[in-house]
Amino acid sequence: MNSMYQQLMQLPLFQGVSTEKITSLVEKLPFHFLKYRNGEQVLTMGDACTHIKFVVSGKVRVEMPCAHLRVTIEQTLTTPNVLAPEYLFGRETVYPFSVYADGPCGILQLLKSDYVKMINSDKVFLFNILNYLSSGSQRSVSSSLSVKDGSVSERLAILVQSLVIAGASDVILRYKQKDLCALLGTQRTTLITMLDKLSDDGIVEYDSNAMTVLDMRKLMDINK
């Protein structure tokens, strides 16, 4: 039990909550701990977001096709993390990506109505979810306002930042070169020159169909 509480208290939306409070909630609310084998699908893009889901052990692979951007982003999330809580509320309440177990993993899920009860039980839960949603919203606004400005490498960094979940690793951007050129507003020769430079700096590696981010911090630093 102590191990379970420690896992919960590490989760981004549980941080700062007392052990006594979490113990009380576990006794009152139906927390479901689900186990998945390597490669099993945890959720499908388009599924209704009826539960809040946390990665509490192992890791998952997130695949998000962005048809309107003509690219696909893949990334890995490890424990502790939360899967798209911003889609619990609002106009769009379906998951924007599919998730697969990357090795054995554990998912904690709680029904939306029970999560609302949890938020109402302690202001720390409320502040945690508000901070999480606000941070994501501010990052999206900043990215959307800047994507047409700056150098090609700066625009690429902004694009990746807008699609990558905080704390993700093993990020791969899949594309057709002509679509990525159109998205970044550049010519193919300029795109290749930029990718060659990033590759030489150890930031990415790429081929004609995909770019793997080797150093996310350095990529994000391009815009500083």
- 84-119 pLDDT, tens digit each: 999 999 899 999 999 999 999 999 999 999 999 999
Residue 11: pLDDT band (50, 70, 90) is confident
Mean model confidence pLDDT for the chain = 89
pLDDT score for 142: 47
Q: What is the mean pLDDT of residues 120-125?
A: 91
Lookup result for tokens 């679509």: 179
Q: Rounded to an integer, what distance in angstroms lies between the CA atom of residue 159 and that of residue 143?
A: 7
Let me know: does 96 contact 84? Beta carbons within 8 Å. Answer: yes
Q: What is the mean pLDDT of residues 128-136?
A: 85
Length of the chain in residues, anyone?
224
pLDDT at position 179 over 70: yes
- Inter-CA distances, 109 with 15, 23, 75, 115, 167, Å: 17, 16, 21, 9, 20
Residue 144: pLDDT band (50, 70, 90) is very low
pLDDT at position 69 over 60: yes
Q: What is the mean pLDDT of residues 181-191?
A: 93
98 backbone dihedrals φ, ψ, rounded to 5°: -105, 150
Q: Please tell me which residue, 72 or 5, carries the higher pLDDT value.
A: 72
Q: What is the identity of the amino acid at 163?
A: L
Q: Where in the chain is the domain with CATH 2.60.120.10?
A: 2-61+77-137
pLDDT score for 149: 56
Q: Where in the chain is the domain with CATH 1.10.10.10?
A: 147-221
pLDDT score for 70: 86
pLDDT score for 50: 96
Beta bridge partners of 189: none
The CATH number that domain 147-221 falls under is 1.10.10.10
According to DSSP, the β-strands at 41-43 and 51-57 are unpaired
Domain covering 2-61+77-137: architecture: Sandwich (2.60)
Let me know: does 78 contact 59? Beta carbons within 8 Å. Answer: yes
pTM across the whole model: 0.86
Residue 167: pLDDT band (50, 70, 90) is confident
Per cent of the chain over pLDDT 70 is 92
